[in-house]
């Protein structure tokens, strides 16, 4: 009897094993399906939240248009109304003060902040799709004053890129935008008084032809030999880290005049001795003394040397132009033209005397 019971129980265990195993497999599969369903639900929720976040971000950055006269700028929507308008107004003020860029050119552009989203559709809706788009870096939290300048500077640069090669090689990219009396004119006087070249020294002394040469007004077949001596080029190069320069520069410093010329001609020295501040001061003087229209006429002119174009636009001779510029510069950016007594002239005479004294004391001037 016992043997029969044991055998029956063993047989029952053997038969029950597959059934238990099957139940376990079914339970595991159910758990897997439950976990997969939960994962899919979470994935859908995450995708929905991500989509909402992207939509909110897009809405924050969606382009908004601000205008001030001929200036049109698109900025991210996150920038407030007052700040956006201040940027546009600031850009217009800078451009009006400069006076170099024709209003029609400004009106043909729309300046777009890189962060702006959906700006193409905004242009379509506002009827501005035909305008030329130029991109500018305006952050989400801008300095409205600085970014007004940034918009204006980008517009000016776009205009300079349309000018002929002579202007592009001579004029600064900003055309003197933001020129400040008491800062930029002083920097120009410092360049003129540095005594790095004979042309600059003689220009300071009042020789018009030297001023033309120093400013690069005349078209020269060989500007380096016309505007510099080899010793002057050597002096410029010697103030650099010569060990990092090419062989011509090193030979120049060691005394080879031919090497100095070779180094200059390969772009090692600027073809115009006058510095950036001085060139900017010329454009500013034209604007102040002859008006914005004269400056725009000069920049639109494509005939002759730079000096010829500026003189024609101002309606005076080239020598008169450089003499006028020099007087304007050395009197602190120009003063009103009034009758002056000897007492009134004393500050100017004193300033000129100090410059001449500095010239006499400087070894570079002798």
Q: What does the pLDDT look like over 66-84, one tens digit per residue? A: 999 999 999 998 998 999 9
Q: Is 110 helix (H, G, I), strand (E, B) or coil?
A: strand
Residue carrying structure tokens 């002239």: 345
Average pLDDT over residues 21-35: 72
Question: Is 128 found in the same domain as 66?
Answer: yes
Question: Is 316 found in the same domain as 188?
Answer: yes
Q: What's the pLDDT band for 249 if we cut at 50, 70, 90?
A: very high
Give the residue, 137 or 44, on which the prediction is more confident: 137
Average pLDDT over residues 45-59: 53
Question: Is 148 found in the same domain as 117?
Answer: yes
Q: Residues of the chain with pLDDT > 90: what percent?
A: 63
Question: Is 278 found in the same domain as 224?
Answer: yes
In this structure, is residue 207 part of a structural domain? Answer: yes
Q: Which of 303, 364, 333, 328 is closest to 211 using CA atoms?
A: 328
CB distance 278 to 203 below 8 Å: no
In this structure, is residue 5 part of a structural domain? Answer: no
Both structure tokens of 19? 């059934």
Question: Is 142 found in the same domain as 203?
Answer: no
Question: Is 323 found in the same domain as 224?
Answer: yes
In this structure, is residue 15 part of a structural domain? Answer: no
CB atoms within 10 A of CB 195: 17
For residue 337, the model assigns a pLDDT of: 44
Question: Is 314 found in the same domain as 221?
Answer: yes
Integer Cα distance of 366 and 360 in angstroms: 7
Question: Is 126 found in the same domain as 219?
Answer: no
What's the structural domain count of the chain? 2
For residue 8, the model assigns a pLDDT of: 47
In this structure, is residue 11 part of a structural domain? Answer: no
For residue 143, the model assigns a pLDDT of: 76
Q: Is 92 helix (H, G, I), strand (E, B) or coil?
A: helix
Comparing 22-26, 229-233, 253-257, the range with the smallest average pLDDT is 22-26
Integer Cα distance of 363 and 366 in angstroms: 5
DSSP strand pairing (63-68 vs 71-76): antiparallel
In this structure, is residue 279 part of a structural domain? Answer: yes
Q: What's the pLDDT band for 60 if we cut at 50, 70, 90?
A: low
Integer Cα distance of 302 and 18 in angstroms: 98
- In the chain, which ranges are continuous DSSP H helix? 2-61, 81-98, 103-107, 119-125, 144-160, 165-170, 184-193, 198-204, 208-215, 223-227, 230-238, 247-253, 257-263, 276-290, 292-300, 306-314, 318-330, 342-361
Instruction: Please state the pTM of the whole predicted model.
Output: 0.75
Q: What angle do CA 284, 289, 290 make, to 5 degrees?
A: 100
For residue 59, the model assigns a pLDDT of: 57
The predicted-structure confidence for 211-221, as pLDDT tens digits, reads as follows: 999 999 999 99
Is the pLDDT reported for residue 209 higher than 90?
Answer: yes
Contacts of residue 220, Cβ cutoff 8 Å, sequence gap at least 6? 226, 227
In this structure, is residue 85 part of a structural domain? Answer: yes
The predicted-structure confidence for 290-301, as pLDDT tens digits, reads as follows: 999 999 999 999
Integer Cα distance of 325 and 347 in angstroms: 19
For residue 366, the model assigns a pLDDT of: 42
Is the pLDDT reported for residue 281 higher than 80?
Answer: yes
Comparing 42-46, 147-151, 155-159, 256-260, the range with the smallest average pLDDT is 42-46
In this structure, is residue 308 part of a structural domain? Answer: yes
Q: What angle do CA 147, 99, 278 make, to 5 degrees?
A: 85
For residue 61, the model assigns a pLDDT of: 66
Is the pLDDT reported for residue 134 higher than 90?
Answer: yes
Is the pLDDT reported for residue 25 higher than 90?
Answer: no
Question: Is 188 found in the same domain as 156?
Answer: no
In this structure, is residue 175 part of a structural domain? Answer: no
Question: Is 325 found in the same domain as 215?
Answer: yes
For residue 286, the model assigns a pLDDT of: 97
Please identify, among 162, 192, 214, the residue that sits at the C-terminal boundary of a domain. 162
Highest mean pLDDT range out of 13-22, 199-208, 333-342, 351-360?
Answer: 199-208
Question: Is 110 found in the same domain as 74?
Answer: yes
CB distance 317 to 311 below 8 Å: yes
Q: What's the pLDDT band for 19 if we cut at 50, 70, 90?
A: low
For residue 347, the model assigns a pLDDT of: 47
Is the pLDDT reported for residue 348 higher than 90?
Answer: no
Burial zone of 120 (CB within 10 Å; 0-12 exposed, 13-18 middle, 19+ buried):
middle
Average pLDDT over residues 174-198: 94
291 is in which domain, residue-wise?
184-228+269-365
For residue 122, the model assigns a pLDDT of: 85
Integer Cα distance of 129 and 252 in angstroms: 55
For residue 124, the model assigns a pLDDT of: 86
Distance from chain centroid for Cα 364 = 34
Integer Cα distance of 163 and 168 in angstroms: 6
Question: Is 154 found in the same domain as 191?
Answer: no
């Amino acid at each position: 009897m016992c043997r029969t019971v044991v055998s029956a129980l063993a047989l029952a265990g053997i038969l029950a094993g597959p059934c238990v195993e099957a139940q376990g497999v079914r339970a595991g599969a159910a758990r897997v399906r439950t976990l997969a369903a939960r994962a899919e639900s979470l994935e859908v929720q995450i995708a929905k939240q991500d989509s909402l976040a992207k939509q909110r971000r897009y809405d924050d950055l969606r382009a908004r248009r601000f205008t001030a006269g001929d200036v049109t700028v698109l900025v991210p929507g996150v920038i407030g109304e007052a700040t956006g308008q201040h940027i546009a107004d600031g850009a217009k003020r800078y451009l009006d003060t400069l006076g170099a860029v024709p209003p029609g050119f400004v009106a043909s552009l729309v300046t777009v902040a890189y962060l702006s989203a959906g700006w193409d559709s905004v242009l379509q809706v506002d009827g501005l799709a035909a305008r030329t788009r130029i991109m500018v870096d305006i952050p989400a939290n801008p300095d409205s004053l600085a970014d007004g300048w940034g918009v204006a500077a980008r517009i000016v640069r776009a205009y300079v890129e349309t000018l002929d090669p002579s202007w592009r090689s001579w004029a600064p990219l900003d055309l003197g935008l933001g020129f400040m009396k008491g800062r930029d004119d002083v920097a120009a006087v410092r360049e003129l008084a540095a005594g790095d070249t004979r042309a600059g020294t003689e220009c300071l002394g009042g020789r018009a032809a030297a001023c033309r040469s120093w400013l690069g007004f005349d078209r020269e077949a060989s500007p380096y030999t016309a505007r510099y001596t080899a010793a002057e080029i050597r002096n410029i190069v010697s103030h650099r880290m010569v060990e990092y320069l090419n062989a011509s520069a090193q030979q120049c410093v060691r005394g080879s005049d031919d090497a100095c010329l070779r180094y200059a001609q390969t772009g090692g020295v600027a073809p115009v001795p006058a510095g950036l501040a001085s060139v900017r001061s010329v454009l500013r003087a034209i604007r102040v003394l002859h008006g914005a229209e004269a400056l725009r006429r000069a920049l639109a002119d494509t005939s002759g040397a730079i000096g010829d174009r500026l003189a024609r636009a101002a309606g005076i001779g080239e020598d008169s132009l450089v003499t006028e510029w020099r007087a304007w510069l050395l009197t602190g950016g120009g003063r009103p033209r009034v009758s002056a007594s000897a007492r009134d002239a004393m500050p100017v005479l004193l300033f000129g005397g100090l410059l001449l004294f500095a010239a006499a004391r400087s070894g570079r001037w002798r």
